[in-house]
Structure 1
Amino acid sequence: MLRFTFVCMWVAFTSAAFAQGGTGIRGKVTDAKTGEPLMVVPVTVILGADAFVETNLEGQYELALPPGTYDVRYWADQYEGVDAKAVKVADGFVTLDIALKPVEGSFTEEVVVIGTVDSKSESGLLLKRKLANTVQDSIGSEQISRSPDSNAGDAVKRVASATVVGRNVYLRGLGGRYAATTVNGVALPSTDPDGHQAPLDLFPNALLSTLTVQKTFSAEMNGAFAGGVLGIETNSYPATFQAQVKLSLGANTQSTFRSRRTYEGGSQDFLGVDDGTRQLPDSIPEDRPLTTRDPQAEQVSESFSNVWTSRTSQGLPNGSLNVSVGDTHQWDGGQAFGYLASVTFSRSDAATNADVQTFRIDDQDLMPKDLYSSEFGATHTNWGALLNAGYQLDPLNDVSLLALVSRSTEDSAQLLQGFSDTDDANFDATRLKFAQRFLSFNQLRGTHRFGADNAFALRWQGNVSVTQAEEPDTRDMLYLEDNGVRRFRQAANSGERFFSTLSDTSGGGSLSLRFPLGRVEMNVGASAQLSRRHFDARRFAFLFVGEDPALLGLSAEEMLSEENIGPSFLAEERTFLTDRYEGTQSLYAGFLSAELPLAERLRAIAGARLEVFSQRLESGSPFAQGQAPASTDRATLNPMPSLNLVYGVTEKANLRAGYSFTVARPQFREIAPFLYYDAIRRRSVSGNPDLVSSRIHNADLRWEWFPTESEVFSMGGFFKRFIEPIEQVVVSSIQGDVGYRNAEAATALGLELEGRVSLGRVSEVLAPLRLGANLSLIHSRVNLGSSQQISTSESRPLQGQSPYVANVNLGYLRESSGTEVTVLYNVFGRRISEVGFNRLPDTYEQSFHRVDVTLSQRLSEQLRLKLTGTNLLNQSSVFQQLGTDVFRYRPGLTATAQVEWSPL
């Protein structure tokens, strides 16, 4: 994003210069076929003077020349050069606009310009990738606009070796602690109390500039690196005034105008806002746990809303709205101010009807255990706002401010119906849940150039982020059929209400100085990042205290009506000790790297990073009974070396190699010496204070060829060796309770292939067609050794890792009519979703083939229509154990129409 900021400032400076007086030649260079401006085009005076200039981002140029007659040459890679003869300059500036014709079917020698690039465009990203010191892959807003993807989680799966499991990204088959996410270079905490990653659906595509997957480590990066780092770059301000409105409407075959599960909520649920209906009642004591003997027990029990049962309603169409405006203002002296403001809102209904089956092992054979159906309905809403502003004091100094806010809500109802082998009865269970997540990210940063030839570059940034997650009043209710009579089952997760809040505040900064030292380019810097997390939850269960068991056969609302509260039912506190904890974390780092030429075409980037990391966690809810608080305090010192080699095989091809030794650290709850309850998976999780950080050897090799500015072919491989990797293992055969252990070792080996090409190479008739594809083949193996516990397999692939991932896209572009069509295909190989235990085999999510299509049509200069279809194969998602289905559902086909209006 810093490079893009420099682009905007460069445009501002050159544009400001155009307003000054004098004599010479000025104009604009464009593509004769498309009319688009051409940036960084050399404009050279070949007769009459010795002058040279390059066009800016808008294709504009200006040559200051004294009165006279001149010959001027305009030339760009893959365009026919133009010589303007005998151009006479007298008073003022002569305007000379030039349109260059593309060279069809031939390729001239590439001119590499070291400078800023348009990081949103495909060609700009490829140039950035070619010049980078590390192995990386990117996707920009230009490519994202050609897909039906609605947020960062949807878009990142188009990158080689990236898959999305739930809300989390897996890079090279590695997820969780092994795949970090950053925003403008700063790591964000997760909104999941037990999770590792910031959920990607908090970032609507309207706020994104680029998604970059950094696949090799360098000393400037955070040392918690294994699978890679997903870098999210937010949109920056445009060089000229822009205003845009996007409105979309869509439908899904499984949810829109179809029956789905829902429940009676609040008056503002449509906007994803709880109006207070679900808040913790004021009558609940705040100084002690609630018991049935409490004098206020009846009053408190009556203060909860008496809504327990789901109902059905028709799903509404999906919709979204995005409004953005931005501009850059310039003044004499090189000063400029740019801004971009964007607001987005989206809402969608979802319905998932699934068949679920569980098994037990009997003489090495799978035997049916539970068989039931699941009806799940949810409404997702997302609010987002971005403000990006920058001020250029002069061409060498600039400062920018970013403020990003995102709020996401899932309002859901679920009904399970079937047979339970554990209870030997038919059952129906209901869960009502309203979960909301919030992210606020603020960053101030600056760049300053000074010294001889402005060779010193000082970069700094400071950041503050706040993430919050709230789950107000999640309700669980379970009924069993007893002798043909449906009765309330008083047990864990039945007649219970759960309230939780999570907040994580993080702040820090970094400083780096880049400078030449002879032939070596040095980079030295330091950073600090501090965070504090607070989690608080309370749980309440309604207990039967009466004498008439017939009440247990009533519906939930009748059973827990006001007249039955008190004499027959009372609420009691069921809060766990670990339902309140306070955690602090600090990371201090320093780094030094050097880029040095080893030969004419070979350069090395060697570096070292030193990190001091500390964690402290204290747990203990005053509302839990019969337990003692627990605490954990630990610190580590980690040195991390790195070496990247880049060999320019030709002007258009690179051979890259990299090695690094990095770290993966345990999270707060993984080291806490107590049990906590995972409400999502219905199992207990135990922390382990004896966990140690994993160390990872990373090795990469890649060959890449850039035949043109928009084409690439690459082939690469990677190898990773994990020392004492942290694994989640099953420790109880009853409920599948899990804990964390350091396994002995693990390895991951992969091959990555990618190609993007214009089919005009085959025939001129096919010139409007572009083809892109990438394929990743990954093999991993974890050896649990002594930490196997009761896990079925001592050696297995990494959980969530797909053995192969492939993407194919075919695009058609007709500039004259403004028509663009893109067909996209994505597939991943089967992967372990749940690790087997007590002789039960691992559960595998089966391969899923997805085909999407996008049609974009320009209706006028201000109006564009975009039609998309996703999951056109309408394939089901299937999870299996030993080839037998345990979970199956159909996500459905989605069609969306979007209108994009740019009034100016």
Structure 2
Amino acid sequence: MLKIKHLLFLAFPVLLINSKLFAQSGGKIAGKIIDQKTSETLIGATVGLQGSTKGAATNVDGRYVLTDLQPGTYVVVVKYIGYQTKSISDIVVKAGAVTNLDIVMSEATTTALKEVVVKATYRQASVASLYAIQKNSVVISDGISSELIKKSPDRSTSDVLKRVSGTTIQDNKFVVVRGLSDRYNTASLDGTPLPSTEPNRKAFSFDIVPANLIENIIISKTATPDLSADFAGGNIQILTKDIPDQNFINLGAGYSYNSQSTFKNFQSGYRNTSDYFGFDGGARTLVDNFPTTAQIIGPPRLTPKQNLQSIQSLNNDFTVYNKNAFLGQSYQFTLGNVQEIGKNKNRFGTTIALTYRNAETTIPDLVRQYNNFNFKENQYKFSTNIGALANFAYSFGNNKITFKNLYNRVFDDIFTFRTGSNNSNGSYDSRFYAYDLTQKSLLKSTIDGDHKIGAGNAKLDWSLGYSNIKNDQPDQRKVNYLQSGPNEPFVASITNLGKENARFFSKLNENIYSGKVDFKLPVKMFGQTSNFKAGISSQYRKRDFNARFLGIILKDGTSDIRLRPIETLFGPNAVNSGAFELDEISAPNDNYNAHSYTNAGYIMLDNKISEKFRAVYGVRVERFDLKLNTLDPDQQQPRAELNNTDFLPSVNLTYSLTAKANLRASYYRTVARPEFRELAPFSYYDYELLATQIGNPLLKRTMIDNADLRYEFYPSAGQIFSVSAFYKKFANAIEPSIDDVNSSTTISYFNSKSAYVYGAELEARKSLDFINDAGFFKNSTIYANLALTKSKIQNDDNPQLLEHDRPLVGQSPYVINAGFQHNAFDNKLSVNILYNRLGKRIFYAGGVNFPSVYEAPRDVLDFQLGYKVLKGKGEIKVNGTDLLNQNDTFYYDKDKNPAGGTGNTFKRFTPGSAYSLTFNYNF
């Protein structure tokens, strides 16, 4: 398997190829040439300097670069057949720097031979191009660029996404768009789909992709036929960095302080040096010759010698180690290299990036007070994140080949100590210990080709992708001590295996292979240039999941070993005495494998009907086949099977009310398919939810009809005011089904009879120059987005349910994001203040005995202060996150009390405020 060291091997030759990496060079002018009406890139446009023979032609991406320019002021002239020639003046070039200039071109209005030259200044051209890109988007979408990411304290993609209009994040990693939970959203990285990273839900963990590796993120909230149709909330497209405009090396280092963990007591279980590098190192995994399930449960069972050897092979170090938590650390290295090859100045570009983060955080005094539970617990999380990116691209003539690779690994080791009472088991008090390590990794490789075909602007694009997801839990360990009375000793519950005395080992491995081909052909219709597109795609997914519930049980229930503290409970002398026996809880559904094929084809027309009216319409056809199997010997056919062919039409209409305003309307049909885990009948007890999760093999796919309406106004470049309305109707919506009749709650899934979501979004971004076009106000910008959403779903047919209809899980009635940005001292100083709040939302659906668990609203305030030093090559940043540190409260909504109330608190804690200092330097 390709690891970081292999990516480094790929990157190393790049460091050797270009010996001039640090040499001072002339300046550059670089950018894109785009169509004014559609923002489509123009291939083969000629870009030259007035009064000079120096020039370049745009490549298949519509990009150009003018290199080796002496410092000074230039005039750029752009020519393209069928378009008006454009002349842009006042372009300032500095030594060793790139001046970015995107240029919009207008089609010629006459066939006369006399050339028409449109003149503009550098600022006018830059503003015009930004307008065109903002205004000419085909679909209703929102996004965020790398420049805005740099101005926020965000470290991961999940942090970034919560800044986007109508988007929220659950558990700091799962995305909710327009009130629809992660299972109704889909994501792609560099044009190919991302899989679910979670063993117990359909969700991609966005904290796995570091923010500094992102070029931009676009969330498409409406569909076009060329987009994957497996979404209802949003299609999240993440692009990593491609060919740089100039050579660079960036080094960064940062340290962070957490208000409730740094330099304070930090508890953990066993720790290995390799943990700091994101790898377990094998100390927690089962040895290769560990007995099989059949050997353990028999008959015949293990011999005493085999039993002892097997127990000794496990990591029986249950010691609770104490230390002071250190500062959070982050380091990054990014290299960009671009070379011109041959007399045609073909370009070969490379971007290499390495990232490292490590943090020790604490959640103290987490409270659970409901039903028979009255718990208080401390959670300690040791987290390491390592990542590597290696992107290569070669642009030659009207062709471009790109090879992009991303590897990222998350190592989360959580130790939980819980005290308190559970009256349901008749005990007076308890002490619960949980040692829980999760290792997640993502490896993704994509090779793309872009080609111009013929004399026109026809294009053929193709891509091949491979992804590998791993999610391992090696040796999740749980031990509970019970006290039968106020003066009685605490006794370890180790005489049998159960929810609070077990060792859980699981491995999830999923491979995804994908490919697609897209063809675009410009055509003339209604006197306007339109674009016909068609394409095919295919994806194959293969998942293998294996789990084992093991444990060491005490043979003699009266033994004094039960009175030992956790540090010596499974000590060598007790183990070697033969007091313990290895046991296992086995079920035929603990292991499953599944695969799916998704084959799709589409045709669409991006049709400019008139100067003001644009229609993008077409149909997408998707064929989906899925099979899931378990190890159940009585299984005669797949436990779950889906075979569907879906015709998914869409139409997006845009009317340009003015040069600065659009009115948009759209209708589209999409689909949401069950995830492997939602179908798998594997049963897993989650000690944090205090519930068992199990899939439903009978689930059907969900069909969704969507409608959107949006007005958008661009008062000036980079500024926007928009208001949107949307409606979604679901057939067979997939939602959690809660069975809480017994002492242990079970969570499964069902297809609802009906469900709908509707809402409105408002977004505004405006410079304060309308107050005063100078000084402080000219360099200040305020922005805000507000989403109002309402949903309703019919629960299943159980007449005993407390709630027969309710909002969708994860849907907030409102979401507010706001911020203030200011630049000063010739952009050396930057200030960014960010605010987020969301309305109460269902975290956990209700059942027969308990209503739904809601997450209460809380205010989140972040800031970033940046200052450029060392002639602009270095930048110091001071970040603060969650400054208010308000309680995060999850409560049963029995009496509509948002504070939870006595006996209603599912959990309540404070996450802590964090402050960091980082330094970045560009060579």
Aligned mates of 2:55, 2:184 — CA distance in 1: 57
Would the alpha carbon gap of residues 755 and 547 (structure 1) be closer, same or farther in structure 2, given more than 3 Å must change? Answer: closer
Q: Is the 8 A contact 1:398 1:446 kept in 2?
A: yes
Match of 1:401 in 2: 403
Would the alpha carbon gap of residues 23 and 288 (structure 1) be closer, same or farther in structure 2, given more than 3 Å must change? Answer: closer
Q: Is the 8 A contact 2:415 2:436 kept in 1?
A: yes
Aligned-residue offset at 1:43: 4.7
Aligned-residue offset at 1:837: 1.8
Match of 1:460 in 2: 462
Does residue 736 (structure 1) correspond to residue 745 (structure 2)? The answer is: yes
Report matched runs for 1:215-614 at 5 Å.
215-286=221-292, 288-291=294-297, 293-295=301-303, 296-331=306-341, 332-360=343-371, 369-394=372-397, 396-425=398-427, 426-452=429-455, 454-483=456-485, 484-490=488-494, 491-519=497-525, 520-546=530-556, 548-565=558-575, 567-614=578-625
Match of 1:107 in 2: none
Amino acid of the structure 1 residue aligned with 2:745: G
User: Residue 341 of structure 1: SS of its match in structure 2?
Assistant: strand
Aligned mates of 2:825, 2:868 — CA distance in 1: 9
Q: Is the 8 A contact 1:401 1:443 kept in 2?
A: yes
Aligned mates of 1:288, 1:629 — CA distance in 2: 24
Would the alpha carbon gap of residues 493 and 512 (structure 1) be closer, same or farther in structure 2, given more than 3 Å must change? Answer: same
Q: Is the 8 A contact 1:300 1:571 kept in 2?
A: yes
- Higher mean alpha-carbon deviation, 534-543 vs 288-297, is at 288-297
Aligned-residue offset at 1:670: 2.4
Deviation per CA, 1:853-896: give whole Å up to 9, x if none.
11110112221111111111121211222322332111111111
Aligned mates of 1:635, 1:23 — CA distance in 2: 59
User: Residue 745 of structure 2: SS of its match in structure 1?
Assistant: coil
Deviation per CA, 1:501-536: give whole Å up to 9, x if none.
111000111001111333242100000000100111
Would the alpha carbon gap of residues 655 and 72 (structure 1) be closer, same or farther in structure 2, given more than 3 Å must change? Answer: closer
How many pairs does the alignment contain?
826
From 798, 816, 824, the equivalent of 1:806 is 816
Would the alpha carbon gap of residues 19 and 434 (structure 1) be closer, same or farther in structure 2, given more than 3 Å must change? Answer: farther
Would the alpha carbon gap of residues 808 and 564 (structure 1) be closer, same or farther in structure 2, given more than 3 Å must change? Answer: same
Aligned mates of 1:6, 1:43 — CA distance in 2: 13
Aligned mates of 1:255, 1:354 — CA distance in 2: 12
Aligned mates of 1:499, 1:5 — CA distance in 2: 52
From 738, 742, 759, the equivalent of 2:768 is 759
Aligned-residue offset at 1:669: 3.0
Match of 1:820 in 2: 830
Amino acid of the structure 2 residue aligned with 1:423: N
Q: Is the 8 A contact 2:87 2:119 kept in 1?
A: no
Would the alpha carbon gap of residues 809 and 534 (structure 1) be closer, same or farther in structure 2, given more than 3 Å must change? Answer: same
Q: Is the 8 A contact 1:176 1:195 kept in 2?
A: no
Q: Is the 8 A contact 2:513 2:539 kept in 1?
A: yes
Match of 1:691 in 2: 699
Amino acid of the structure 1 residue aligned with 2:780: L
Would the alpha carbon gap of residues 19 and 383 (structure 1) be closer, same or farther in structure 2, given more than 3 Å must change? Answer: farther
Would the alpha carbon gap of residues 710 and 681 (structure 1) be closer, same or farther in structure 2, given more than 3 Å must change? Answer: same
Does residue 639 (structure 1) correspond to residue 643 (structure 2)? The answer is: no
TM-score scaled by length of structure 1? 0.86
Does residue 653 (structure 1) correspond to residue 661 (structure 2)? The answer is: yes
Aligned mates of 1:374, 1:23 — CA distance in 2: 69
Would the alpha carbon gap of residues 549 and 228 (structure 1) be closer, same or farther in structure 2, given more than 3 Å must change? Answer: same
Aligned-residue offset at 1:815: 4.7
User: Residue 290 of structure 2: SS of its match in structure 1?
Assistant: coil
Aligned mates of 2:800, 2:694 — CA distance in 1: 15
Aligned-residue offset at 1:127: 4.5
Aligned mates of 2:713, 2:448 — CA distance in 1: 34
Structure 2: runs of 5+ lacking an equivalent: 1-29, 35-40, 57-69, 92-97, 104-115
Aligned-residue offset at 1:424: 2.5
Does residue 795 (structure 1) correspond to residue 776 (structure 2)? The answer is: no
Q: RMSD in angstroms over aligned alpha carbons?
A: 3.3
Would the alpha carbon gap of residues 867 and 12 (structure 1) be closer, same or farther in structure 2, given more than 3 Å must change? Answer: farther
Aligned-residue offset at 1:599: 3.2
Aligned-residue offset at 1:678: 4.8
Aligned mates of 1:195, 1:148 — CA distance in 2: 29
User: Residue 128 of structure 1: SS of its match in structure 2?
Assistant: helix
Aligned mates of 1:36, 1:759 — CA distance in 2: 33
Match of 1:93 in 2: none
Would the alpha carbon gap of residues 738 and 506 (structure 1) be closer, same or farther in structure 2, given more than 3 Å must change? Answer: same
Aligned mates of 1:38, 1:789 — CA distance in 2: 77
User: Residue 586 of structure 2: SS of its match in structure 1?
Assistant: coil
- Higher mean alpha-carbon deviation, 228-237 vs 52-61, is at 52-61
From 734, 752, 757, the equivalent of 1:726 is 734
Q: Is the 8 A contact 2:317 2:570 kept in 1?
A: no
Amino acid of the structure 1 residue aligned with 2:296: L
Aligned mates of 1:61, 1:779 — CA distance in 2: 41
Aligned-residue offset at 1:611: 0.4
Does residue 169 (structure 1) correspond to residue 210 (structure 2)? The answer is: no
User: Residue 270 of structure 1: SS of its match in structure 2?
Assistant: helix
Match of 1:58 in 2: 99
User: Residue 572 of structure 2: SS of its match in structure 1?
Assistant: coil
From 756, 766, 789, the equivalent of 1:747 is 756
- Higher mean alpha-carbon deviation, 182-191 vs 658-667, is at 182-191
Aligned mates of 1:161, 1:339 — CA distance in 2: 35
Aligned-residue offset at 1:676: 5.0
Does residue 850 (structure 1) correspond to residue 891 (structure 2)? The answer is: no
Q: Is the 8 A contact 2:446 2:463 kept in 1?
A: yes
User: Residue 875 of structure 1: SS of its match in structure 2?
Assistant: coil
Aligned-residue offset at 1:273: 1.9
Aligned-residue offset at 1:42: 6.4
Amino acid of the structure 1 residue aligned with 2:447: L
Would the alpha carbon gap of residues 14 and 38 (structure 1) be closer, same or farther in structure 2, given more than 3 Å must change? Answer: farther
Would the alpha carbon gap of residues 341 and 674 (structure 1) be closer, same or farther in structure 2, given more than 3 Å must change? Answer: closer
Aligned-residue offset at 1:185: 2.3
Aligned-residue offset at 1:813: 0.6
Aligned-residue offset at 1:12: 13
Match of 1:714 in 2: 722
Aligned mates of 1:299, 1:603 — CA distance in 2: 73
Aligned mates of 1:688, 1:742 — CA distance in 2: 10
Aligned mates of 1:38, 1:315 — CA distance in 2: 54
Q: Is the 8 A contact 1:37 1:58 kept in 2?
A: no
Q: Is the 8 A contact 1:13 1:334 kept in 2?
A: no
Aligned mates of 1:51, 1:371 — CA distance in 2: 75
TM-score scaled by length of structure 2? 0.84
From 137, 141, 144, the equivalent of 1:139 is 144
Aligned-residue offset at 1:577: 2.2
Amino acid of the structure 1 residue aligned with 2:168: T
Aligned mates of 2:102, 2:700 — CA distance in 1: 59
Q: Is the 8 A contact 2:192 2:446 kept in 1?
A: no
Aligned-residue offset at 1:405: 0.6
What is the aligned-residue identity percentage?
Answer: 27
Would the alpha carbon gap of residues 205 and 44 (structure 1) be closer, same or farther in structure 2, given more than 3 Å must change? Answer: closer
Match of 1:92 in 2: none
Report matched runs for 1:107-126 at 5 Å.
111=128, 124=130
Deviation per CA, 1:207-257: give whole Å up to 9, x if none.
111111110011001111201111111112211112111111110001101
User: Residue 555 of structure 1: SS of its match in structure 2?
Assistant: coil
Aligned mates of 1:635, 1:177 — CA distance in 2: 20
Does residue 75 (structure 1) correspond to residue 120 (structure 2)? The answer is: yes
User: Residue 737 of structure 1: SS of its match in structure 2?
Assistant: strand
